[in-house]
Amino acid sequence: MSTTTPDPDRRTALVPPHGDAMRLDRFLAECFPLYSRRQLVKVVKSGHVRVNGVRARPGVVLHTGDRLEMPVWSRVLPQLEKERAAVREVSRPESEVVELYRDDDLLIVSKPPGVPVHGGALQSNVVTLIDMLRDDILEDFGLVHRLDRDTTGAIALVRGAELRKAMMERFATSDGAIEKVYEAIVSGTPDPAEGRIEAPLAPPGHGGKARVSEEHGKPALTRYRTLESFTRAARLELTLDTGRTHQIRVHLASIGCPLLVDPVYAGRKGWRIPDPRGSRDAYLKRTPLHATRLTLPHPRTDELVSVEAPMPADMRYALEVLRVVTGRGRKRGGLPPTESRPTDDAP
């Protein structure tokens, strides 16, 4: 896609042959992989993208030679986040977001479960991480990478458009400057106990499901190490050499050890198992994936900054009960008992 920049805040481009008959949102997602499709759609819906001079919709179908007018993404997205923060009243307390590191240029927090990092339209009732960090967003901090809605743990924000763009580009490369380490609870036990999962991934299509694809996928590498083994379950440490959408979830499913809860890649919306000690059941209603450690170069000084995020209570308790169950030889440890399915009123 060739671009011209007569206006420093706008870009103009002609749709190349490979974009013919493609939806605008999909085309933008392929051309600008630093940003999520949700972010790009938000910009389109805000009226910042035009096709042949006409304000565009995300689903408009493009044709070869169409003229696109676009903003500079690294400038418009922080501005939209500030506008959202300025008008939002957040119902969830900011104290749910644990601060792990802060200085004038870099902020790293631990994201709670069930919170998307970005929202949609301004009218949306969904509370996002941006909303919960309202004061920092208004001070020009912005996210430089993403976590899934139900994934917890360390996530970084950088202050200032130029520093933020440079850090986003570093997150998008696999040069070893940034280390992202996760912990997960999975079904089954990997064999071998430590290894590499190297399988190219195609981005999510209809239905929001990514897939392993030799033909259409981009290189993706996940390293794993088994920390604990239970009866038909395991606790893993995972290190990402790349950052593809749903990479850990797809890679784990590809070796037969999907996350213990994953409605998309494991077909399981919840997991519950009784505590043999007579205490409350262990219950998970989200993907048990936690960004436990993040190491990155400081955006201004380039010195390494490393933080660790405490594991959330639901995963800690699930592991505690799995240890008890496995120690007592219960054969159903690590699988949801059929007589104890999650319900809407479960704790």
How far apart, in whole angstroms, are the C-alpha atoms of residue 237 and residue 194?
9
Relative to beta strand 152-159, strand 106-111 is: antiparallel
Phi, psi (degrees; rounded to nearest 5) at 271: -145, 135
34/346 Cα distance (integer angstroms): 38
Rounded CA separation 329/326 (Å): 5
Distance separating alpha carbons of residues 206 and 218, to the nearest angstrom: 18
Separation between Cα atoms, residue 63 and residue 60, nearest integer Å? 10
Judge contact between 271 and 262, C-beta under 8 A.
no
Q: Which residue of the set 105, 140, 148, 241 is catalytic?
A: 148
Residue 148: active-site member: yes
Catalytic residues: 148
